Structure 1
Amino acid sequence: MADDGSAQHNTIWPLPKFHFQVMWDDAEMAFQEVSGLDTESEALEYRAGNNPVFSKLKMPGMIKYSNITMKKGVFVNDNAIFLWFKDIKMNVITRKALTISLLDELQAPRIIWKVKNAFPVKVSGTDLKAEGNEVAIETVEIAHEGFEIETK
């Protein structure tokens, strides 16, 4: 009898990355691709003049976050991204809560990135080709002030 996998523990297989959900405020946005969910700490180097060791100490410095880039298909009468970007004025912008969830096969969120104070810094419309047969894709780049990760 073949093993159907039901006896295996649910942590044996990693989650696929193709099933996800993006929410900003209370609205769900259907994106094709999300990238830039990374963070890093800059290493600070320091050496005191009276240190007998001839090397620098390294310690963690400021944390920085990459901008999040999201791509989606272009739909008729769906210009929410451009309207949000249009709101940018001199130091006045509508910041939104952004929640990105990696979903399991039952549509339940398993890993959640809660992005703080997100706002668009770049919006790119689709490229146009007379000989192309691809779907029209628009891109938005989001700046933010960090995120928290929750697992369930």
Structure 2
Amino acid sequence: MATYYPPVGFHFSVEFTGLSTSEVDHQFQSVAGLSVDVETEDVTEGGENRFKHKIPVRTKYPNLVLKRGLLVDSKVISWCKDAVENFEFEPIDLIVKLLNENHEPLLSWNIVHAYPIKWSIADFNAQESKVVIETIELVYNYYNTI
């Protein structure tokens, strides 16, 4: 009988530090972009023609994409609107928490110096009965696990 079960990926929250947000502002349908790539540079060695050495150069982080049902009154969306409509960027930190069955954090990722670069609303269609989804895309410097 198994004694360890991997955590589920559907129980999480997103907290925006620096914004006084309500509990509803922490709930998202999905979070994508928690990954990191290490870029490398090829270095050839004199006299060795069989291979090239790969030297790590820098890390590269993709954009963080958050999706949820549309909120009419949201501090997060006000922050996004200031950036995309008024070109007033105020970078903040985020904490993405993977939660257990008791709503306690199992793992947390601290997203550093994030600001919005895209805010979109899903298409409206009178022939479908779906929730309106908003998507927020953020660029950030890096993340670390807490």
Percent sequence identity over matched residues? 29
Q: Which runs of 5+ in 2 are unaligned?
A: none
Counterpart of 1:85 in structure 2: which amino acid?
Answer: C
Tell me which of 63, 80, 89 is aligned to 1:85. 80
1:17 aligns with 2:9: yes
Q: Which has the higher helix share?
A: 2
1:110 aligns with 2:70: no
Q: Which runs of 5+ in 1 are unaligned?
A: none
Residue 68 of structure 2 corresponds to 72
Task: Give TM-score scaled by structure 2 length.
Answer: 0.86
CA apart distance, 1:52: 3.0
- C-alpha distance in 2 between matches for 1:137 and 1:52: 55
Could you list the runs of 4 or more consecutive aligned residues of structure 1 that deviate by over 6 angstroms after TM superposition? none
Tell me the secondary structure at the aligned position of residue 116 of structure 1.
Answer: strand
CA offset digits 1:92-118 (Å, max 9, x no partner): 511111000000111110110000011
Say whether the 8 Å CA contact 1:121–1:143 is kept in structure 2. yes
Say whether the 8 Å CA contact 1:44–1:60 is kept in structure 2. yes
Counterpart of 1:113 in structure 2: which amino acid?
Answer: W
- C-alpha distance in 1 between matches for 2:114 and 2:138: 6
Task: Give TM-score scaled by structure 1 length.
Answer: 0.83
Residue 122 of structure 2 corresponds to 126
Q: CA RMSD in A?
A: 1.9
Aligned length: 139
Say whether the 8 Å CA contact 1:81–1:140 is kept in structure 2. no
Tell me which of 36, 39, 44 is aligned to 2:41. 44
Q: Could you say which structure has the larger radius of gyration?
A: 1
- C-alpha distance in 1 between matches for 2:54 and 2:40: 6
